[in-house]
Structure 1
Amino acid sequence: MKLTASLTSPYARKIRILLAEKHIPCDLVVDSPWETATSVPALNPLGKVPVLETDEGEAFFDSPVIAGFLEALDIPPHFIPQDGLPAVRVRQTEALADGILDATVLAYLETLRPAEARMQSSIDRQFDKIGRALSRLEEQLSGEFFHGNRISLADVAVGCALEYLDLRAASLNWREHYPRLKAFQASIGERDSFVSTRPPG
């Protein structure tokens, strides 16, 4: 298999962590859709990473879809529960974490605009979304993991989202306001899969 990804993409990092945790061999092709010569649109018409290509040549894109594909391979450990409702709960937490990523990306892109064209109200709106999502996650977390007594896709997604805030929205200082999430990140961030996929710089 082959994964096309940017080293700073938190969506791609989520998949790289799952591959590492499951010990699935996969070639990493570093490609950013922001580069002029990128090959990403040829793989994903939406022009986004990650994209996973199977040995048979089929391409899967969008990180929740790729995560579902990896689970369908039935290679342990499993990161999505087999039962319907527990699986939905894990995927909802993943969606909340991905929503934090979406808002962080939008706010970061706004900061790259020239000062005279930058809309602070747009940045504030995204930061409000992030704050509400973090508050919900803080309330939801009652133990070492978000769902059950072992790591799931929800934990991977939240871990990636929190560290992406450090990279692109450090001014939020989220650790000062969310002690449970702070402890969660300190723990999950020590896993080899997180250490080995941490973005450069």
Structure 2
Amino acid sequence: MQLINLDHSPYATRVRILIRKKQLDIAIVSPNLALKTPEFLAAYPLGKIPLLGLDNGQYLPESIAIMEYLEDVYPTQTFRPNEPLAAAKSRVLASFTDTHLAPALLPYFKAMMLPEFTFDQSVQYDVVRVTLEKLDQWLKANVDLKDHGLTMGDIVLAPTFWWVDVTVGAYAKNNITDGLDYLNQWWDWVRNDADVKQGISEMASAFAAFQRQQA
């Protein structure tokens, strides 16, 4: 198997982290076709990275589907909790990432990619802040970091959360997570994991290269 990957993508990064946590022999490769071209879309109809190339020649899209597949195929070292409530809480973190946090950050991403794109920075800052306040409250009520093992939910959230400071921080004069003590504690905890740290480092390097190209 191989993972078609882009280092700057939080969606690909979450899969890379899981592959390394599970110590899987899966090659991590760059796309062999230019993104968004007719050739790329013909080969990969959903048009997104990451993609898991299977041994039968098929390609599995969508990061969460890839992670669930890897957990099913390689269940011995699992990051999907066995206890039902713990498993549900892990899924909450993953769902929150993609349905709350990522949409709140989307205007900032668009502004980085499209110089002509503008948005109300004050309004969007408030949207992101409220989103993070909700996450802080949920973590405080549901995750005891003293007795918490790394889950798929943490692995999904961490790469996207890294982008909060990179995107919002480029516009804001203050740290948007000020006062969100439990969220900050979770962030310190999760990025202390060696594989999470490596994934974040790869994103940071890829983003720095992008900035140099834009300069």
User: TM-score, normalised to structure 2's length?
Assistant: 0.77
- Look up the SS of the partner of 2:155 in the other structure: helix
Q: 2 CA distance for matches of 1:92 and 1:179? A: 20
Query: Is 1:138 equivalent to 2:136 in the alignment?
Result: yes
CA distance in 2, matches of 1:55, 1:104: 35
Paired residue type of 2:53: E
Cα distance change, pair 151–40 in 1 and its aligned pair in 2 (3 A) = farther
Q: Hey, what's the Cα distance between the residues in 2 that align with 1:44 and 1:84?
A: 35
| Structure 1 residue 13: Cα displacement | 0.4
Deviation at 1:28, TM superposition (A): 1.1
Q: How far is the alpha carbon of 1:5 from its aligned partner? A: 1.3
Give the superposition deviation at 1:10. Answer: 0.3
Letter in 2 for 1:167: V
Give structure 1 stretches of 5+ with no counterpart.
none
Question: Structure 2: which 5+ residue stretches go unaligned?
Answer: 209-215
The 2-side partners of 1:4 and 1:38 are apart by 18
Give 1:126 deviation, angstroms. 4.9
Q: Which amino acid aligns with 1:104?
A: L
Q: What aligned pairs does 1:142-157 form with structure 2 within 5 A after superposition?
A: 142=140, 143-144=144-145, 149-157=148-156
Aligned residues: 196
Q: Distance in 2 between matches of 1:105 and 1:188?
A: 23
C-alpha distance in 2 between matches for 1:130 and 1:33: 34
Q: Deviations 1:115-157 (Å, cap 9, x if unpaired)?
A: 5xx3424x55654443333112101223218xx7311111112
Provide the aligned C-alpha RMSD in A: 2.8
Name the CA shift for 1:195/1:129 in 2 (closer, same or farther; >3 Å): same
State the secondary structure of the residue aligned to 1:66. helix
CA shift for structure 1 position 70: 1.0
3-state secondary structure, aligned to 2:8: coil
- Deviation of 1:40 (Å): 4.7
Do the aligned residues in 2 keep the contact of 1:33 with 1:48 (CA within 8 Å)? no
Q: Which moved more, 1:76-85 or 1:188-197?
A: 76-85
Cα distance change, pair 119–33 in 1 and its aligned pair in 2 (3 A):
farther
Work out the CA distance in 2 between the residues paired with 1:181 and 1:34: 38
Q: Distance in 2 between matches of 1:126 and 1:87?
A: 32
3-state SS of 1:141 partner:
helix
Give the corresponding residue for 1:108. 109
The 3-state SS of whatever aligns with 2:77 is coil
**Aligned ranges 1:19-38 → 2 under 5 Å:** 19-31=19-31, 35=35
Q: Which amino acid aligns with 2:131?
A: A
- 1:175 maps to 177
* Secondary structure of the structure 2 residue equivalent to 1:131: helix
| Distance (Å, rounded) in 2 between the aligned partners of 1:195 and 1:39 | 34
Contact 2:46 2:61 in 1 (8 A): no
Greater RCO, 1 or 2 (C-alpha within 8 Å, sep 6+): 2
Matched residue, 1:88: 88
1:78-106 deviation digits (Å, cap 9, x = unpaired): 12234555433322220111232243234
Tell me, in whole angstroms, the C-alpha distance in 2 between the residues paired with 1:32 and 1:127. Answer: 37
Write out per-residue CA displacement over residues 49-94 of structure 1, whole angstroms, 9 at most, x where no aligned residue.
1111112222111111111101111333312234555433322220
1:53–1:162: structure 2 CA closer, same or farther, 3 Å change rule? same
Alpha-carbon distance in structure 2 between the residues aligned to 1:11 and 1:166: 17
Question: Relative to structure 2, which stretch is displaced further, 82-91 or 133-142?
Answer: 82-91
Q: Which has the higher helix share?
A: 2
- TM-score, with normalisation over the residues of structure 1? 0.81
What residue is the counterpart of 1:189 in the other structure? 191
